[in-house]
Amino acid sequence: MKISIKLKKIVSTSIACTVLAVAAMPTSAYAKTKLVYASYISQKSISTTLDIWFMDQVEKRSKGDITFERYLGGSLMKAPQIYPGLSEGAVDFGTGTPQAYNPKQYPLSNIVLPWITEKADAVTYAFKELYDSNPDLQKEFTSKGVKMLWALPFPDGGIWGNFAARLPEDLKGKRIRAVAAIAWGIEAAGGSPVPMSFTDAVEAVNRNALDAMANAPFDSGVKFGLPKVVKYVSDAGRLGINSVSIASMNQASFAKLSKD
């Protein structure tokens, strides 16, 4: 029950913020416009559910003048390609985690740190407030031709693996899929963080190529069958919400749309 309430809060809070983005979108275009959408995240994820709702709303409110060609789950681009693809105009709209997969280009976006909070609404509003008030963070996107729309917290994560992670020393010598700030924590504990996509990590843990995987939102872990693959899951000392997915548009694609 507690998990369900948290997930509902994440969705409801983020939809409230996304409504503002929908309102800012044009209600009609001068001509029929097809926008290409790409995400590496599975359709089972909350962030994809929100993206689909957003695209459906835009298509409905524009009365079909704006439509989306949709590529989910890495079917067009893998995780590291989403934001470079947005910058280059290879896609018009996309959701990814540039702070994890493109950290050299988006270092300031890695501001959502683990072991801080479990409150999804707090993370949503804090990230938006920071973005709106911090020119350097804004420039991280605008200088690359990207218009950020919203950031959605991933649900609480943990460490899923074939060993019990009860103390920091339990991570020593372990190969663990981890990205962004969680990778720093695992490295500090003597583990070896391995950056790779979520789906690849599930397979790697199943084949014992990895000892465990972190940066694994609870809902995604369950939906991808991790409880059937691993023996243990730990909150790693209250990891909490440790990252956000960021939805953005190519700035040129956005600018071409009607302002009506």
Say whether both 65 and 136 belong to one domain: yes
Average pLDDT of every residue of the chain: 86
Rounded alpha-carbon distances, angstroms, from residue 198 to 22, 136, 206, 220: 29, 29, 12, 9
Say whether both 174 and 81 belong to one domain: no
pLDDT-above-70 percentage for the chain: 88
**What 3-state DSSP class applies to 152?**
strand
At residue 96, φ and ψ (nearest 5 deg) are -160, -165
The gap from C-alpha 181 to its chain's centroid, in whole angstroms, comes to 14
Residue 140: which of 165, 91, 113, 105 has the closest Cα? 105
Q: Which two tokens stand for residue 173?
A: 């010598």
Give the range of the structural domain holding residue 67, as residue numbers without chain letter. Answer: 2-155+243-256
Say whether both 44 and 127 belong to one domain: yes
Per-residue pLDDT band at 158 (split at 50, 70, 90): confident
Say whether both 113 and 229 belong to one domain: no
Average pLDDT value for residue range 5-21:
49
Per-residue pLDDT band at 5 (split at 50, 70, 90): very low
In contact, 243 and 117? CB cutoff 8 Å: no
Say whether both 183 and 196 belong to one domain: yes
CATH number of the domain within which 197 lies: 3.40.190.10
Most confident of 20-24, 28-32, 192-196, 248-252: 248-252
Please give the single-letter amino acid code of residue 189: A
Q: Which two tokens stand for residue 184?
A: 């720093």
Residue with tokens 């981890």: 178
Per-residue pLDDT band at 84 (split at 50, 70, 90): very high
Say whether both 128 and 188 belong to one domain: no
Structurally, the chain folds into a number of domains equal to 2
Say whether both 119 and 200 belong to one domain: no
CATH number of the domain within which 98 lies: 3.40.190.170
Say whether both 92 and 143 belong to one domain: yes
Residue 92: which of 45, 43, 48, 33 has the closest Cα? 33
The partner residues of 44 in beta bridges, in order of sequence, read none
In contact, 136 and 106? CB cutoff 8 Å: no
